A and B are shown apart, each in its own frame.
Chain A
Amino acid sequence: MTLTRVAPLVTTTVARQKPRRRDGWVTAIMVGPATVLYTVMLIVPVGLALYLSLTDWDGFSADPAFVGAANYLDLLDDPDLRRAAFVTLLVAAAGTAGLNLLGLGFALLVNGVSRANTFFRIVLFYPHVLSALVVGFLWSAILGTTGAVNNLVTSWGGEVLPFLSDPTWATITMIAVLVWAGFGVNVVLYLAGLQAVPHSLIEAARIDGATRRQVFRNVTLPALGPSVTVNIVLSLVTLLKTYDLVVSLTAGGPAGQTQTVAYLILWNSFHDARLGFGSAQSVLLMLVTGALAFVVTRLRRRGELAVHQ
């Protein structure tokens, strides 16, 4: 038994010492597919967006003119972008809070092995399976002025509720629908985190007389630190790119008040035939998203370290 265990170790050590050139090729072959994907999916589009952002390309002409930083200067003076940036940040902040609170809350509720919990996990995850376009049309049929809810309200003699016709209501509705459609993923991620919390720690705390709340606050939550970071960053990045739900739920209205930056980018690029300007907006969104994700990750990591110390 001992001999058979040792033998492969020796072979591996010898193999490592000999043909390093072959090792390099193997690494290159292993990394190759990922490099191709990364290049095709990320480097090329980002490079192209950067290049287009410096041109006045309308999407049709064969010879876009180089305009330098003109598109970026126009961004500073664009009231539509300012409004869309505010809406996007609001959606990202409120949505991230909603997704994580609901995600963690429901994960705690269904964190146990039983048939009922399995059923509820599927139910909670189900909205995420639907396309955002379908979700938007579905909720607009429910909450629109002539939708199911308002039909019910008016048939009882009430006033129409302006879910989608008032700017404030429409923004809240959009955030609520985004949270409804997305929190299933957070439940799954938090469940994975909860199941990784060492049971011995919880047992020890209970033996020491800690209440359930104290166990959650002082044992479970600190142990969930990495899960919280992942959930916050993922939610934030996803919400900063909100587009398809805007198209199907509010179409950016009323009066353009629910337009997000991603919606505006697509609108400017293809509807208004200003792909150069749209590309500059894309580059800006990419930088802001990256910066926010970086800051959140750093802050969370600092928090996690503080807990461990």
Chain B
Amino acid sequence: MRSPRPFLALTAIGCLSLLAGCGGGGFAGDGQERPSGGGQATVRMLVNITPNLTQAYWDGLVKPFEQANPGIDVKIEAPTGKGVADTLPQQLAAGNAPDVVETLTADETLAKQVLDLTGQPWAKDTPLAEQAKLGGKIYTVGVGVQAQSLVFYNKKAFEKAGIDQPPATLDDFDAVMGKLKAAGWLPLQTGGEFLTGLQLLQLSNPSRAQTLPTWQQDIKAGKVKAGESLLPYLERYRTWIDKGYVDKNALGMKYADAETAFLSGKSAMYVMGSWFTASEAKSKKDFEVGVFPAPVDKGQQYPGPQGATMAAPYMILKSTPQKDAALKLVRWLVTDPAAVKSQLKQDGNFRAGVEREFTPLEKQVQQILDGAPSGVPQGEGYGDATLPKGFNAAWNTEVQGLYVGKSPKEVAEGVDRWLAGRS
């Protein structure tokens, strides 16, 4: 009696050959030409989808471009993972990378996969292009600037607590929180998820940048320890938890809940980036929101350097079979006046020399940006000032440790240990 094993083996070999044959997989750079039917070039653009930047918004944004360029079809793609940062590696691994990617900025890892835009005459005039250079090359171009180190405040709460002047130093900031607490307000709104660590980075940018202007580069060079250099801010934050200036149960709140809590008047101050102005404009409330630049250490220049990140950054993947069409699209997205204005307005961002309809709060943010002596990278940073991927998240986890019993020193050591493990 013959065993059917040879047949089974044959079937298995057939299956494996089939798999090898139809392999869509492989590492990025395998770059196969994607045919575009009927002479039509399809540019696939992976974008971030948020409450402000919906799929419908993106589709509407690129419509005028498609009308002006009948041979180009733009396909907006939403992340299939948690976000663009998770989706892009998956698509690269599957050999299915998009042509254009929005949201991420180039670092040493990504730069190998994206197009060098240094030779494009329009690229150097885009916001923060110079600061985001990596090894002297431009890989990422953006639409505008996001101001990071802003403190939004409830004017009614300040009035009731008898505060007539926003604080300029961190000591004044502590005193203001004391007054607000005494007047029955929760002084500072924070929350869980990524918010805890982000706010402390935003708040510390202007003073940290005055003592350590090349912080990220110094950390990379081993001259400075990240946690150790931020220890004074961690110690200060710890006192805020102990004194009840922040809610000790804040970690049980999501980012959106924290924003809602501030906008519904439950807290007096909220440290956030300029994109918050878009949410503020849409909310209904019975108080006015004001904004001031994050305070600095005693004796430092105020306002200090403003934490600044690129708004709506774009990159073109090297593997794109539609290089010309992708270049045309990205150029249009970052230079066309109507497209730029639309994107700035939609996500509450700013760009020098671009006039658009401002809300009163946006006007104040623009003034803060105009008055800032410089813009500095924040946390993980960008361009040559980039820390290892995941720094912001590791920092956030450690800062949250302050709420669950870790000492500031332990938190600082945790951050430095994480960085040492990634060096």
Evaluate contact between B27 and A62: CB separation under 8 angstroms.
yes
The verdict on B332 contacting chain A, using a C-beta distance below 8 Å, is no
Instruction: Digitize B1-43: 1 where CB-to-A-CB distance is under 8 Å, 0 elsewhere.
Output: 1111011101110111011000000011110000000000000
Looking at chain B, what size class is its interface with the partner chain? 35 or more
Evaluate contact between A164 and B89: CB separation under 8 angstroms.
no
In the complex, what residues of A have CB within 8 A of residue B389's CB? Answer: 271-273
Tally A-B pairs: CB < 8 A: 154
Q: Pick the interface stretch among A7-15, A120-128, A139-147, A297-305.
A: A139-147
The verdict on B235 contacting chain A, using a C-beta distance below 8 Å, is no
Residue among B16, B92, B247, B251 with most chain A CB within 10 A: B251
Instruction: Digitize A123-140: 1 where CB-to-B-CB distance is under 8 Å, 0 elsewhere.
Output: 000000000000000001
In the complex, what residues of B have CB within 8 A of residue A40's CB? Answer: 15, 19
Looking at the complex, which one of B86, B88, B251 makes contact with A255 (CB distance below 8 Å)? B251
The verdict on A36 contacting chain B, using a C-beta distance below 8 Å, is yes
A interface residue numbers (CB < 8 A to B): 20-21, 23-25, 27-29, 31-32, 35-36, 39-40, 44, 58-64, 140, 143-147, 160, 162-167, 170, 247, 251-257, 266-267, 269-273, 275
Residue among B6, B28, B29, B403 with most chain A CB within 10 A: B403
Evaluate contact between A146 and B253: CB separation under 8 angstroms.
yes
Looking at the complex, which one of B27, B247, B388, B398 makes contact with A63 (CB distance below 8 Å)? B27
B interface residue numbers (CB < 8 A to A): 1-4, 6-8, 10-12, 14-16, 18-19, 27-30, 81-82, 85-86, 88-90, 92-93, 109-110, 112-113, 192-193, 247-254, 257, 260-261, 388-390, 393, 397-398, 400-401, 403-404, 406, 422
In the complex, what residues of A have CB within 8 A of residue B257's CB? Answer: 144-146
Task: Tell me if B's interface is mostly helix, strand, loop or mixed.
Answer: helix
Evaluate contact between B2 and A257: CB separation under 8 angstroms.
no
Looking at the complex, which one of B93, B249, B401 makes contact with A165 (CB distance below 8 Å)? B249
In the complex, what residues of B have CB within 8 A of residue A163's CB? Answer: 252
In the complex, what residues of A have CB within 8 A of residue B12's CB? Answer: 35, 39
- Complex CA–CA separation, A166 to B10 (angstroms): 57
Evaluate contact between A23 and B250: CB separation under 8 angstroms.
no
In the complex, what residues of A have CB within 8 A of residue B113's CB? Answer: 60-61
Given contacts A24-B7, A275-B89, contact A145 B253 (CB under 8 A): yes
In the complex, what residues of B have CB within 8 A of residue A257's CB? Answer: 404
In the complex, what residues of B have CB within 8 A of residue A145's CB? Answer: 247, 249-253, 257
- With A165-B252, A270-B86 given, name 17 new contacts (CB 8 A): A21-B2, A27-B4, A32-B11, A39-B19, A145-B253, A145-B257, A146-B257, A160-B252, A163-B252, A165-B248, A165-B251, A251-B192, A251-B193, A254-B252, A255-B400, A255-B406, A273-B109
- Complex CA–CA separation, A143 to B254 (angstroms): 11
Evaluate contact between A60 and B112: CB separation under 8 angstroms.
yes
Chain A residue nearest to B192 (CB atoms) is: A253
In the complex, what residues of B have CB within 8 A of residue A253's CB? Answer: 192-193, 251, 397, 400
Looking at the complex, which one of B27, B89, B92, B249 makes contact with A160 (CB distance below 8 Å)? B249
Chain A residue nearest to B398 (CB atoms) is: A255
Evaluate contact between B85 and A270: CB separation under 8 angstroms.
yes
- Complex CA–CA separation, A28 to B11 (angstroms): 6
Residue among B6, B7, B30, B261 with most chain A CB within 10 A: B7
Evaluate contact between A24 and B2: CB separation under 8 angstroms.
yes
- Complex CA–CA separation, A272 to B14 (angstroms): 38
In the complex, what residues of B have CB within 8 A of residue A58's CB? Answer: 89, 109
In the complex, what residues of B have CB within 8 A of residue A59's CB? Answer: 89-90, 92-93
Evaluate contact between B400 and A256: CB separation under 8 angstroms.
yes
Looking at the complex, which one of A24, A44, A247 makes contact with B4 (CB distance below 8 Å)? A24
Closest CB in chain A relative to B272 CB, distance in Å: 17
